Amino acid sequence: MTLFATKREALEPFAAVEAEALAGKPRSLTRDAMRRLFANWAAVGSLFVLAFIVLAAIVGPWFIPYDYETPDWAAFRTPPSIESGHYFGTDQNGRDLLARTLYGTRVSLVVALVATLVSVVVGVLYGAVSGFLGGRIDSAMMRFVDVMYALPYILFVILLMVMFGRNVYLLFAAIGLLEWLTMARIVRGQTLSLREREFVEAARASGVSTFTIIRRHIVPNLVGPVVIFATLTIPEIIVTESFLSYLGFGVQEPLTSLGTLISEGADTMETLPWLLGFPGTVLVALLLSLAFVGDGLRDAFDPKDR
């Protein structure tokens, strides 16, 4: 009896797939990728951690009685404690570190998301046009990408910040407009293979314009690689913003970010270690979560693993 039950249980997944096929509900690639993603426990756990960090950064400051920039005149350099109400302690100016960490996480996430969006839009359009047109146009566009790759990345961002001022909105554009290079190369490689597919040839034969083919046939088929690379780009931009803030070229007062908090904590790590410990821990948890989610998406959408 146990043997038959075991065989029946082993065949249940295949029976479910067969039932779906008979019912006229074939499993789509996206659905299959999501199934594979949620079977990855590291990615699922990282999604929960990432959701908690994002939710805390958005709504957390509303539940804290202290503002991120208003000092508590009765609590300067207070270590973390429940009795004082400063759970992460305060800095040398009496500002609550928990409020500053939550607000800094929010700023770092906004910088990363906006810069990633800019890099995705520019990179996808540039790479799709280059790969689809091909020939001399493709060669010239890729040589421009090579020239941009040769420029020192951090030096170029610092130069933009010095020339146009230390503005947080300029920081969005400066990082995003330099992160599109790798995206453009990836999209161009995918487009080179897509333009030879039958549905693209059929669209050409039907007299569909080049722009319409790129918009309706090429770009929608790039969603998988673009989403994966965008997920892996976000932690890279967070690290870049943190590094620029650490050097003093990033987010400026009265705003704060994780990089700014880590920079302040590094100066006082011997006397006030919590100023470095808590923001550093949040940054590490955020980066690891994004990395595991990106790896999970890559494995889920990888056609060789299906």
Tokens of 67: 């503002």
pLDDT band, residue 28 (cuts 50/70/90): low
Helix-strand-coil split of the chain, %, nearest 5: 75, 0, 25
For the cut 60, the answer to whether the pLDDT of residue 112 exceeds it is yes
- Is residue 159 a contact partner of residue 99, using CB atoms and an 8 Å limit? no
pTM score of the predicted model:
0.75
Lowest mean pLDDT among 3-7, 226-230, 270-274, 277-281: 3-7
pLDDT band, residue 101 (cuts 50/70/90): very high
Residue 201, pLDDT score: 81
Strand partners for 138? none
Tokens of 126: 């540039």
- Is residue 42 a contact partner of residue 300, using CB atoms and an 8 Å limit? no
Residue 27, pLDDT score: 54
Q: Report the alpha-carbon distance of residue 226 to residue 25 in Å, rounded.
A: 27
| pLDDT mean across residues, the chain | 79
Tokens of 141: 């566009």
Between the CA atoms of 199, 180, 111 and 259, what dihedral angle is there, to the nearest 10 degrees? 140
Closest CA to 173 of 186, 156, 150: 156
- Is residue 282 a contact partner of residue 258, using CB atoms and an 8 Å limit? yes
Give the DSSP letter of residue 1.
-
Who's near 176: CB < 8 A, 6+ residues apart? 114, 115, 116, 117, 118, 119, 122, 237
pLDDT band, residue 131 (cuts 50/70/90): confident
Decide: helix, strand or coil at residue 40: coil
Q: Report the alpha-carbon distance of residue 43 to residue 268 in Å, rounded.
A: 35
Kindly report, residue by residue over 161-192, the tens digit of the pLDDT: 677 666 666 766 777 777 788 888 888 888 88
For the cut 60, the answer to whether the pLDDT of residue 16 exceeds it is no
pLDDT band, residue 107 (cuts 50/70/90): confident
Q: Report the alpha-carbon distance of residue 143 to residue 81 in Å, rounded.
A: 57
Tell me the percentage of the chain whose pLDDT exceeds 90.
Answer: 10
Residue 102, pLDDT score: 92
Strand partners for 90? 96
Tokens of 224: 């998988």
Residues in the chain: 306
Query: In whole angstroms, how far apart are CA 291 and each of 37, 41, 199, 266, 298?
Result: 14, 14, 35, 25, 11
Contacts 24+ apart (CB under 8 A), 137-142: 138/188, 142/185, 142/188
Q: Report the alpha-carbon distance of residue 174 to residue 262 in Å, rounded.
A: 22
Residue 14, pLDDT score: 40
For the cut 70, the answer to whether the pLDDT of residue 8 exceeds it is no
The domains found in the chain, sorted by start residue, are 1-39 (no CATH), 40-305 (1.10.3720.10)
For the cut 70, the answer to whether the pLDDT of residue 227 exceeds it is yes
